[in-house]
Copies of this chain bind each other. A is one copy, B any other.
Amino acid sequence: MDHAFTIGRLSKESGVKVQTIRYYEEIGMMPLAMRSEGNQRLYGDAEIARLKFIRHARDLGFGLPAIRELLELGDAPEAPCAHADEIAKRQLRDVEEKIEQLTGLQTELTRMVKQCNHGQISDCRVIEILSDHDNCLEESHGGRAHVKS
C-alpha cells in the first residue's frame, strides 16, 4: 500500500486503459495524481478501486455525471445529508428501474435459450417480445437514462 506505482500498472490492475485514465483525470473523474521526479503520474491502491468502480458503473450503463455523483457519496461521507440523500434516492430509482427492465429481458432470453434446443430458430421471438413491451417504454424521464438531457 505504500509504494506508489505508475499509470501502466494502474491500468493493468483496474482494467482501464492508460489513455482513459488520463482522460478521466482531465475531466476530473480522477484526482490529479502526484508526479515523480520525471513527471510521471504516481498512484496508490485507492485509485485502483476507484477505477474499477467507474468501469463497472459504465458497464452497467451509468453516464459519467451519474458516476461522478456516486463517487461524491464516497468522497464526502461526512457531508451533510440533504444533498447526498437526494442523489442516493435518485440513483436508487434509476438502479431499480434498470433491474426491472433487465429482469424482463432475462426472462425472455431464458425462454429463448430454452426454445432454441438445437433445432431451428423458426420461432425465435426476441424481437417480437421486446418490441411489444409497450408498458416499459414510456418512461417518466424521457427514456434513456443518460447524461445529457
Q: Which positions in A face B, CB cutoff 8 Å?
A: 15, 48-53, 55-66, 70-71, 73-74, 76-82, 84-85, 88-89, 91-92, 94-96, 98-99, 101-103, 105-106, 109-110, 112-113, 116-128, 130-133, 136-138, 143-149
Contact = CB atoms under 8 A, between A and B. Distances in A.
A96 B106 CA distance: 7
Given A58-B144, A59-B101, A149 B66 contact: yes
Nearest to A136: B56
B127 A112 contact: no
Contact of A146 (B94, B110, B138, B147): B147
Contacts of A66: 149
A137 to B, nearest CB: 6
State the number of copies, please: 2
A92 B116 CA distance: 13
B63 A117 contact: no
A13 to B, nearest CB: 10
Given A74-B124, A147-B148, 11 more contacts: A63-B148, A76-B121, A80-B120, A81-B119, A82-B118, A92-B106, A92-B109, A98-B98, A144-B147, A144-B149, A148-B149
Contact of A92 (B79, B110, B138, B148): B110
A84 B121 CA distance: 8
A88 B103 contact: no
A113 B99 contact: no
